[in-house]
Structure 1
Amino acid sequence: MEKAFNRHRRLRRTDSIRSMVRETFLRKEDLIYPIFAVEGEDIKREVPSMPGVFHFSMDRINEEMDQVYKLGIPSVMVFGVPKEKDEVGSQAYCDTGIVQQAISHIKERYPDLTVIADTCLCQYTDHGHCGVVEEGYVNNDKSLELLAKTAVSQAKAGADIIAPSNMMDGFVAAIRKGLDEAGFEDIPVMSYAVKYSSAFYGPFRDAAHSTPQFGDRKTYQMDPANRLEAIREAESDIKEGADFLMVKPALSYLDIIRELKDRFPLPMVAYNVSGEYSMIKAASQNGWLNEQEVVMEKLTSMKRAGADLIITYFAKDVAKWLSE
């Protein structure tokens, strides 16, 4: 008697059948597109290490935002690159700072877009670290005060969501308290709950002009070898009032995304970071791979791992491909 076996290929036989049984879907509604606003006039400047990603001054940012809106991308995350930096990153919490200007402008022109504010100090400090530095070390608690001030100023400007990315202990609690006391109790916090000290951030530091001037960020960002620490970090942020959890980077940490998604009921965000973007751009420009196929496979893998939302520099490309 012949040995029986399962014929799994029956469900792969045609395009139509494969579509019928597909388990994971990528949608425009899943996408968050990062925007870089800079001070000055008539600036549209490509980031050298990130083909297709630009700095925009306020008088030209509509060129980018009009495309985003027409493509049906529902959300943007705003980063700022100031002209002036100081030791405490005062432009981060200035009510007329570049991020605050960009948030106000975008919300006025596109009121139904969700605008997320990246809340950190590294782009604004002259030393490039994510907080107040004393004797070569980032002072955790003094940094919290400035981060809360930054979040409140961004909410005043019209931000729909505050996304703190600094990895200070207690940052969600400090920001939640600051927002509530300022009357912004309805503004959610999208916590960079699990942010690794990763080698994949290089191109972003080129874009945000945020490379540390000394040392590194390993005393506050996580060791890439650690899994249980990610669970502890996420649990703390939930207790402190986080409304979303984020894992950054995404591609090398799909196991972390899945573990957190299985454990916690909050919306899960994956940050498809600059290094992941630039590698694919470089390889596709050299003809080594099919950019569209690789990008769609990669982002689908993040959804399959448990991500509900994906921050990605490919958002405009993906929105076009999904429409086609």
Structure 2
Amino acid sequence: MPHRRLGRVSPTPAPRDRPRRLRDTPAMRRLVSETRLDPADLVLPIFVREGAAAPLPIASMPGVVQHSLESLPGAVTDAAAAGLGGVMLFGVPEQRDARGSGATDPEGILNVATRVAADAADGALVVQTDLCLDEFTDHGHCGVLDMLGRVDNDATLERYQEMAIVQAASGSQLLGLSGMMDGQVAAVREALDGSGFSNTPILAYSAKYASAFYGPFRDAIESTLEGDRRTYQLDPGNRREGLREALIDIDEGADIVMVKPAGSYLDVLADISAASVVPVWAYQVSGEYAMIEAAAAHGWIDRKRAVIETVRGIRRAGADAVLTYWALELADWIRKGDLA
């Protein structure tokens, strides 16, 4: 049987395009990075509990505490020393009622904490306050209720106006409107301008979704909520609605708009970032934090890499700044150049 002669195999042509050239060394990867992290782009949420004698750990958020008024100055100065852009304050009162009276009491925990934080910061970062009633109402909703137990949008706007004036007078440098009431930005802007606070900016939580990822936060503020907030927070299935809400808020005078949560809504964040003429922020919420901490505690993921990757992803999607409970630790890694 004649021997079959095998044909010669042509050599594989060399690739013309070699993107790997720009990934070859840590220095090269750093040089061509499209998304950079900076401590100034991070905001640290801080909880302050009325009557606390010392910081109290939050079980569902390992490493996060409810601060006392005595421990708060140290937390703020640490944030400033780390180069963070700001802190966002949340109050945890001892007493609550149907109207959230503590929210507008100048001696209420959030307003006292704001004065303490502003003194401690001394202009080194932006002291921000959560403007919402859920921390202060005995029913746990973000607004006042009507006779049928529904959240009364327009009556709530009046309470928000009162809160805005008290918070601004207490030294808040940025009001975080997180209640998701229709017309809240316009109402608060009118109240601020009419009370001599025309230079106080508004951060609108524009695309705040009715999410499962808020659970640990409700532990942190000891929420009394029964039921849900689906009549005023956005449906998780709606993308266009998030952009619509942001554009309405910008038109009403918002200085910054926000997407919350961040990780599950990167498409909404990208949409808003592409359309917005004001800064766009995102909140990496308590559930996002707790999931990574829990998985890392079991050894299932690399904690540090997961933290860096998630925050980078939020920034890559279009966030100009990120609220994250890892802000201090992440700032330390950034400062040390330890982001590999």
Aligned-partner Cα distance in 1 for 2:118–2:73:
12
SS at match of 1:132: coil
Aligned-partner Cα distance in 1 for 2:81–2:241:
41
**Equivalent of residue 229 in structure 1, options 222, 235, 241:** 241
Runs of 4+ residues deviating >6 angstroms: none
Letter aligned with residue 261 of structure 2: P
1:210 CA displacement? 2.0
1:4 CA displacement? 5.1
With over 3 angstroms needed to count, the CA separation of the structure-2 counterparts of 1:49 and 1:5, relative to structure 1, is same
The aligned residue for residue 289 of structure 1 is 301
**Equivalent of residue 310 in structure 2, options 276, 294, 298:** 298
Aligned-partner Cα distance in 2 for 1:8–1:312:
33
TM-score, normalized by length of structure 1?
0.97
> Are 2:12 and 1:24 aligned?
no
Aligned-partner Cα distance in 1 for 2:210–2:228:
9
1:31 CA displacement? 0.5
SS at match of 1:101: helix
The aligned residue for residue 254 of structure 1 is 266
The aligned residue for residue 5 of structure 2 is none
> Are 2:61 and 1:50 aligned?
yes
Q: Percent identity?
A: 45
> Are 2:125 and 1:118 aligned?
no
> Are 2:325 and 1:308 aligned?
no
Give the number of equivalent residue pairs. 323
Cα deviation, 1:133-173, whole Å, max 9, x if unaligned, reads: 12121000000000111111000000000111000000001
Cα deviation, 1:250-271, whole Å, max 9, x if unaligned, reads: 0011111111111111101010
TM-score, normalized by length of structure 2?
0.92
The aligned residue for residue 45 of structure 2 is 34
Aligned-partner Cα distance in 1 for 2:279–2:150:
33
The aligned residue for residue 141 of structure 1 is 154
> Are 2:108 and 1:97 aligned?
yes
Comparing 146-155 with 55-64, greater Cα deviation is found at 55-64
**Equivalent of residue 283 in structure 2, options 264, 271, 295:** 271
Letter aligned with residue 7 of structure 1: R
Letter aligned with residue 108 of structure 1: D
> Are 2:184 and 1:160 aligned?
no
Aligned-partner Cα distance in 1 for 2:76–2:126:
12
Aligned-partner Cα distance in 2 for 1:228–1:245:
15
> Are 2:115 and 1:107 aligned?
no
1:319 CA displacement? 1.1
Larger radius of gyration: 2
Aligned-partner Cα distance in 1 for 2:186–2:85:
28
